[in-house]
Structure 1
Amino acid sequence: MEFDFSWLLLGLPVAFVLGWLASRVDLRQLRIENRQAPKAYFKGLNFLLNEQQDKAIDAFIEAVQNDPDTSELHFALGNLFRRRGEYERAVRVHEHLLSRADLSQVDRDRAQHALALDFLKAGLLDRAEDALRRLEGTAHEGQARLALLAIYERSREWANAAAIASKLDESGTASFSIRQAHYLCEQAATQLAAGHETQAIALLETAVQTAPQAPRPRMDLSSLLLVQGHGQQAWEHLRTLAQANPATLPLFARALLTAGKACGEVDAARALLLHSYQAMPSLDVLEALIESGAVPPDGTSGGASGSASAAQAEPRDWYARHLEREPSLVAAARWIASEKFEHEQFHPQVQRALDHAARPLLRYRCAACGFEAQQRFWQCPGCQAWDSYPPQRVEEL
């Protein structure tokens, strides 16, 4: 049987026409999709600018469905999910990006950083730590190290925090010497709680060398030395700190006086306290001066009181002199406490009311977030900032 080539000749034009029609249909569909994708994208952007995040997410999802290869839309969608607190959906978006083989290395690092932020915001610290460590050597290395530092501080892993702070210090991001001193002090506190005083002292001495002008290492070390009976060493540390960083003296005014008494340097301690008080009146320094038996100097000339007349000093004289310089409710309440009045039977009630009104003024306030507390924290419990509490109390700010 012979094959009839006439059918082949007739079929070629038919196949050509069908192919042309199919291509026209594909081109038309492509044009429609290309028009829809930008339209959905700009619609989502408009919703985002109008702070309509729900509608923006719906529009971006539509755009991603029309063009699933667009990485920028995935990043926008993942960031929106994270901002809304939908961390599981944000993780899925960024993990989908990382699973793509055609993703560039720059976008892959960016997706890894976004995924780490998802875990961090969700409170999954272990997974966040693992994701952040994978960013070593990338453009996001500095941000990753700062995030790791926050994780280790939050979980109180002070040795790991010190290692990261050391890397940041070496990279020139910022100076982390004071932060490293805090970490050493925290480790020393842990050793001291376990009864390892020798290890605690070694850590504190390292902290002093790391940040010589920082108040905490010398304060913690002198406190431990006083307990062990080394009053002279404690005095030397506090005296050095008072000279190197006089603005912090209100934090250790009583400790300075205690160390001075322990090694026979009461007059020197009194002189340091008086000099500090004359430069910057402080309630804590005032209380230490009263405890030392110092006599208020005449006027504001700054003359030091002699030790011979120290026994004649009265607290009420100090409070009265303080009120001449500062309008202090706390000082007024304490001055009234030592006074005698005509209607003495009402004195306890008046004193109780004054003490109640003055109590909030004795708090410390974080300069970063405004969190107030009766005691001063080295790290704010509210915003986790270090050294954000001024040495002065609320009334003195």
Structure 2
Amino acid sequence: MEFELTLILLGLPLVFVLGWFASRMDVRQLRIENKQAPKAYFKGLNFLLNEQQDQAIDAFIEAVQNDPDTSELHFALGNLFRRRAEYERAVRVHQHLLSRGDLSQDDRHRAQHALALDYLKAGLLDRAEEALLKLEGTRFESKARLALLANYERSRDWENAAKIATLLESSGQGSFRSRLSHYLCEQASTYVATRDTDLARKLLEKAVHTAPDAPRPRIDLARLENQLGDTVAACATLTQAIGAMPAAVSLIAPQLALYAKGCQQGASVLALLKSIYETAPSLDVLDAIVTLEAVSTTSTTSARDWYVRHLEQEPSLVAAAKWIAGEKLEHEQFHPQVQRALDHAVKPLTRYRCAACGFEAKQHFWNCPGCQTWDSYPARRVEEL
């Protein structure tokens, strides 16, 4: 018994020493691991700041392997994959985060939002919608609604887009009245295509009431009225549009001149357009005036005179080309070649340009095909900007 007690007493210091060495080894290993993870993280951050995304991804993967429990590294890695259009890898990273049981509620919502953005960028609109709807009531609610709005616009689901826009406006995210009017106009165009003109008219009238200062509802309504044979009403609608939105007169004038010719209101509309032109010269208003002057029985001003008058106020290559088209040149045999060269030169000047992304088009768009921004096209053409 005394022998066993002696062995135990002798063994205690040995056990203590071994335990001390073991704890030192654990602490040392922990320090090494802790040093490796931040080093890889800062290495990745350095690559990212220098626009070296491939090396940054490799560094973040190394950091994640050294410290798999750090959620911030996963978020950084997932965002990098999305920026590089590697959406499948981004989805896997964010799905892995959501599968972790130790993730905080806020980080879970953050991962859900990141996953929704992955689906949006990948074009998986149904999955994106499902992921975004799960963020209602979270701190990402507003961002999710904006993304959901873009999703519905992209899929041309105008009814749901209107619902989300109404929620955003009611929550103080700004005014969406102009956009709501666009949604109503888009729905109306669908009903016009299916010849349900009564419902189309109701939607357009609602759009006018929703955004009284927006030009599109009245322009589309006038077009529908003209299709239905009520040209007088179409002229009245466009005249009201000019009064409500003077800045859009360049878009309205050509259509108004065309309708005025059909309902014998050319004189009154011509007088209106001339008064507008005096204060705000515009190529489209000028063309509308020339169109009505050509059918006027009392006019003493020719089209060429109007173009010269415009050139006296504005150095316009477009107006010059139209003036030369009706002019007799000294070497008339070369007129077609000269005219063709001028027409080719003025084509880029007659386009419309998006103020948000610079995308140019022959026709005016309410929603830019390049950046999907609403009302980003000025009413005036490139030469007049």
TM-score band, normalised by the shorter chain?
over 0.9
- Secondary structure, aligned partner of 1:368: coil
For the structure 1 residues 352 and 34, does the alpha-carbon distance in structure 2 shift closer, same or farther, using more than 3 Å as the test? closer
- The answer to whether the 8 Å contact 2:351/2:382 transfers is yes
Mapped partners of 1:50, 1:322: distance in 2: 53
In the TM superposition, residue 262 of structure 1 has moved relative to its aligned partner by 4.9
| Aligned with 2:334 (options 346, 351, 372) | 346
Aligned counterpart, 1:372: 360
Conserved? CA contact 1:294–1:313, under 8 Å? no
Q: Deviations over 1:126-159 (max 9, x none)?
A: 2111111111111111111111111111111111
Question: 2:286 maps to what in 1?
Answer: 286
In the other structure, the counterpart of 2:40 is 40
Please give the residue correspondences for 1:1-397 in structure 2 after superposition, counting only pairs within 5 Å: 14-293=14-293, 309-310=298-299, 312-397=300-385
The one-letter amino acid of 1:358's match is V
Cα pair 2:261 2:292 within 8 Å, conserved: no
Supply the distance in 2 between the matched residues of 1:5 and 1:263 (Cα, whole angstroms): 121
**Is the Cα–Cα contact under 8 Å of residues 184 and 204 in structure 1 kept in the other structure?**
yes
Gaps of 5+ in 2: none
Distance 1:257 1:91, change over 3 A: same
Deviations 1:78-133 (A, max 9, x none): 11222222222221211111111221111111111111111122222221111111
SS in 2 for 1:192: helix
Deviation at 1:177, TM superposition (A): 0.6
AA in 1 matched with 2:363: Q
How far the C-alpha of 1:15 sits from its partner, in A, is: 4.2
2-structure distance, mates of 1:186, 1:59? 48
Cα distance in 2 for partners of 1:268, 1:67 equals: 78
Could you tell me whether the CA contact under 8 Å between 2:294 and 2:303 is conserved in 1?
no
Distance 1:54 1:198, change over 3 A: same
Q: Measured at CA, do residues 50 and 258 of structure 1 come closer, stay the same or move farther in structure 2, by a change above 3 Å?
A: closer
CA distance in structure 1 between the partners assigned to 2:318 and 2:259 by the alignment: 27
What amino acid sits opposite 1:339 in the alignment?
E
Deviation per CA, 1:46-67: give whole Å up to 9, x if none.
2222222222222222222222
SS at structure 2 position matched to 1:27: helix
Query: Equivalents in 2 of 1:291, 1:176: separation in Å?
Result: 37
CA contact (8 A) 1:60 1:77 kept: yes
CA drift of 1:209 comes to 0.6
Do the aligned partners of residues 54 and 350 (structure 1) sit closer, same or farther apart at CA in structure 2, a change above 3 Å counting?
Answer: closer
User: SS at the partner of 2:287?
Assistant: helix
> How many Å apart are 1:289 and its aligned residue?
0.9
> Which of 8-17 and 19-28 deviates more?
8-17
Counterpart contact for 1:364–1:374, Cα < 8 Å:
yes
Structure 2 distance, partners of 1:363, 1:224, is 26
Pairwise CA RMSD: 2.3
**Is the contact made by 1:232 and 1:263 (CA closer than 8 Å) also made in structure 2?**
yes
Q: Is the 8 A contact 1:270 1:294 kept in 2?
A: no
Shift of 1:263: 4.9
Quote the Cα distance in structure 1 between the aligned partners of 2:334 and 2:264.
44
SS at match of 1:234: helix
Q: CA deviation at 1:249?
A: 0.9
1:334 positional shift: 1.7
TM-score, normalising length: structure 1: 0.90
Q: Which amino acid aligns with 2:193?
A: A
The CA distance in 2 between the partners of 1:177 and 1:210, in whole Å, is 6
- Number of equivalenced pairs: 385
